[in-house]
Structure formats: structure tokens, C-alpha cells
């Protein structure tokens, strides 16, 4: 698709007949291009290469990847597709290790596969399940948006980090879902979006999304957020998450931890917005969350241009962990937790 439209597409993830189409987020905001994917290997590569990113969106994409894999495996050998597909599942699972929604979606698809007859084409049943996962994510985002917006006691500006909007989810967004709902209710005066080095999701994606909805946004260099809080007028920092441990520790885009520390010092409230599929009750604390390390070149270069001194190395973790003690509010589709801890998390998750 050529950049014929500057408006935000209804979906960054689209099932088209027997194929999967992904909005290529690496090209935004300059171009609106979709990639058509035909098999699990292409889907895994798209996840790894950040064609699609954001924990909920990664999980949804992986679910559709299973649909593609099952169709191809059944066509090749209807008698052994269930065993043959394990290779595809492993490939998808390894694409991005931190985002727990990926494994959650794959486990849900595997549970359904186990119940299907071995000699019937599984594509229709698996597609229905992937579409249910997709639709529920959108509905949950709207629910979280309303819950989070209701927490605003007075009209204020907010800061957000990375992109937790429609592009990172099935639609509407987690952190940006709250911002969209709160702005519609005249509770937000201004959004400040961290640029979010090194992939610049704040500059390229969050600013673009907000402008499509006529929500005023100003960009911040990542190091400017504390000074902006000190200047006053910021009521909330609102972020998403890629994985939340059983004690409420939050893994999110690198820089979130520092933002939480600055927020606590300046008495700015810190809100995390995430579906319960992002909560990993198998991990007792954030220390156990696997943190993905990416290519040092992402820091050493900007596009095709080298910006670092020759010979310099780079430490490039994609995520950091914000301790639960710095989180004022966790908003999920099941409800809100104030000052999350292990006991409150167990109560929420039942």
C-alpha cells in the first residue's frame, strides 16, 4: 500500500482472506505500507524485525501466525500436521522473549489445537480463535480507557513513553486508550510524548497517532521528562507494559524506570495500563523477567548514518523493570489496583 492516506488505519493487523497483513511500523510516519505474510516464518521475522511491536499486538499477530502455519502443515500432510506445527510454534515463541502476550496467545491456540480432530482442516477453527483474541483486545482497551480516565481528579497534562496505542494493540490502545478517553472527556490539556530512543516510537508512532485524533502532543527528548515535571502542570505519567510480574513489577520500554523515579520525586502519579494477558503470575518479581538485548547498531546509528565515535560499543536492553512500589495505579480490563503488590495481584487474577 502506498502512502495515499495520512489517517490512522482502523487496524495495524488485518486478516485478508488466507493471508495476514501487517502495517509496517518501521516506515511510519512517512509511509503507510502493509506487508502480506504467508507463513509462520514470515510472521516470526516480522515480529523480530519490529514490523509489528507492542505486547498485545505481538500476541495477536502470533495467533494469526498459527493459523497460517496450520493451514500449510495440513495441506502438506493432513495426518501429521499437529506434530509438524511444533517447529512453527517454537519459531514464533522465540521472536520476542519479553512480551508475555506472545506466549499467552500461543498457549491459547495450542489448547484449541489439542481439541481439534487430527484429520480435519483446522484453519477455520483456529482463525475464529485468533479473531476472538483480536476482538477482545480491542474491547478490553476501551474498558481500560474508561477506567483510567475516571481516575483524573482534575484536568492536567500527561507524559507517556514509547507507543501503547492502536499500533501496539488490536486497536484503540492501552496507555493511549486512557489518554483518548480522558481527552474526549476534557480531562487532558496536553500530551507530552518521550521520543523513545533508539527506535523513536514516541516521535514516529505516538505523536502520529495522537495527531490523527486531534489530540495536542509535544515531543520530549527522553532526558527532558524530569525537567518538564519540575516545571509543573503534569498530573500523570501513563505507560503500557510488556510483562508484569506477580508482585506488580512492570517491564516496559527502556526509560520507563527512570520516568517512574522522576514521577515519584515530583509527586506526579504513575499509571500502568495493560490487559491481564500481560500479567505473568509464574514470575514472583521483575528480577525474573527476561530482558531482550538488541543489536548495538541501533544505538550507534541513526538510520543509515553512523553517529557514534568509531570503536564505541553500546548496551542496548529493550526494556527495564519498574518496581511495583513506584506504580501508583495498575489499570486492567478486570479492574484497577492502587499501589499493586503480590496480594492485590493474586486477588485480581483470581
Domain formed by 142-349, architecture: 3-Layer(aba) Sandwich (3.40)
What is the domain partition of the chain in residue ranges? 13-139, 142-349
| Contact call for residues 170 and 214 (beta carbons, < 8 A) | no
Is residue 320 annotated as part of the catalytic site, yes or no?
Answer: no
Q: Which of 24, 39, 194, 242 is catalytic?
A: 242
Whole-prediction pTM value? 0.91
Provide the sign of the torsion angle of the four alpha carbons 85, 87, 88, 92, taken in this order.
Answer: positive
Instruction: Give the 3-state secondary structure of residue 239.
Output: strand
Q: What are the tens digits of pLDDT across the range 255-289? A: 999 999 999 999 999 999 999 999 999 999 999 99
Q: Is 307 exposed, middle or buried (0-12, 13-18, 19+ CB in 10 A)?
A: exposed
The confidence score (pLDDT) of residue 9 equals: 53
**Pairing, β 301-302 against β 279-280:** unpaired
DSSP 3-state of 84 = helix
The pLDDT of residue 17 is 85
Spatial distance between the Cα atoms of 146 and 169, rounded to a whole number of angstroms: 16
C-alpha cell at 87: 517447529
CATH code of the domain made up of 13-139: 1.20.120.420
Radius of gyration of the chain (CA): 20
The string of pLDDT tens digits covering residues 100-142 is 899 999 999 999 999 998 888 999 999 999 999 999 999 999 9
Q: What is the pLDDT of residue 59?
A: 95
What pLDDT sits at residue 248? Answer: 98
214: left (phi over 0), alpha (psi -120 to 50) or beta: left
Q: Do domains 13-139 and 142-349 have the same CATH topology?
A: no
Separation of CA 306 from chain center? 28
How much is the pLDDT for 278?
94
Q: 117 CB contacts (<8 Å, ≥6 apart)?
A: none
Terminal Cα-to-Cα distance of the chain (whole angstroms): 44
Task: Extract the residue ranges of the chain whose pLDDT is less than 70.
Answer: 1-10
**Rounded (5°) CA angle 97-200-106:** 25
Given a contact cutoff of 8 angstroms between Cβ atoms, the answer to whether 158 and 125 are in contact is no
- At 305, phi and psi to the nearest 5? -100, 130
Return the pLDDT at 227: 98
Amino acid at each position: 500500500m502506498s502512502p495515499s492516506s495520512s489517517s490512522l488505519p482502523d487496524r495495524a493487523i488485518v486478516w485478508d482472506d488466507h493471508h495476514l497483513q501487517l502495517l509496517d511500523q518501521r516506515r511510519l510516519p512517512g509511509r503507510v505500507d502493509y506487508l502480506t505474510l504467508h507463513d509462520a516464518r514470515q510472521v516470526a521475522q516480522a515480529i523480530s524485525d519490529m514490523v509489528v511491536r507492542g505486547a498485545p499486538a505481538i500476541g495477536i499477530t502470533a495467533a494469526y501466525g498459527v493459523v497460517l502455519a496450520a493451514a500449510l502443515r495440513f495441506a502438506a500432510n493432513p495426518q501429521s500436521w499437529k506434530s509438524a506445527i511444533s517447529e512453527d510454534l517454537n519459531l514464533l515463541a522465540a521472536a520476542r522473549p519479553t512480551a508475555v502476550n506472545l506466549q499467552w496467545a500461543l498457549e491459547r491456540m495450542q489448547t484449541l489445537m489439542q481439541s481439534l480432530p487430527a484429520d480435519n482442516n483446522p484453519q477455520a477453527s483456529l482463525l475464529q480463535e485468533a479473531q476472538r483474541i483480536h476482538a477482545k483486545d480491542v474491547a478490553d482497551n476501551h474498558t481500560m480507557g474508561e477506567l483510567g480516565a475516571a481516575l483524573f481528579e482534575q484536568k492536567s497534562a500527561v507524559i507517556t513513553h514509547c507507543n501503547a496505542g492502536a499500533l501496539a494493540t488490536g486497536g484503540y490502545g492501552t496507555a493511549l486508550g486512557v489518554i483518548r478517553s480522558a481527552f474526549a472527556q476534557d480531562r487532558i490539556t496536553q500530551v507530552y510524548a518521550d521520543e523513545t530512543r533508539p527506535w523513536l516510537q514516541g516521535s514516529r508512532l505516538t505523536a502520529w497517532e495522537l495527531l490523527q485524533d486531534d489530540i495536542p502532543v509535544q515531543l520530549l527528548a527522553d532526558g527532558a521528562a524530569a525537567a518538564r515535571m519540575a516545571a509543573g502542570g503534569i498530573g500523570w505519567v501513563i505507560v503500557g507494559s510488556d510483562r508484569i510480574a506477580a508482585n506488580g513489577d512492570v517491564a516496559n520500554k527502556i526509560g520507563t524506570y527512570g520516568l517512574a523515579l522522576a514521577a515519584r520525586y515530583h509527586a506526579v502519579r504513575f499509571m500502568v495500563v495493560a490487559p491481564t494477558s500481560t500479567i505473568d503470575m509464574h514470575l514472583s518479581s521483575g528480577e525474573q523477567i527476561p530482558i531482550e538485548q538488541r543489536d548495538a547498531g541501533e544505538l550507534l546509528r541513526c538510520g543509515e548514518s553512523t553517529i557514534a565515535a568509531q570503536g564505541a560499543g553500546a548496551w542496548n536492553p529493550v526494556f527495564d523493570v519498574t518496581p511495583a512500589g513506584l506504580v501508583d495505579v495498575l489499570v486492567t480490563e478486570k479492574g484497577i489496583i492502587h499501589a499493586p503488590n503480590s496480594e492485590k495481584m493474586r486477588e485480581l487474577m483470581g
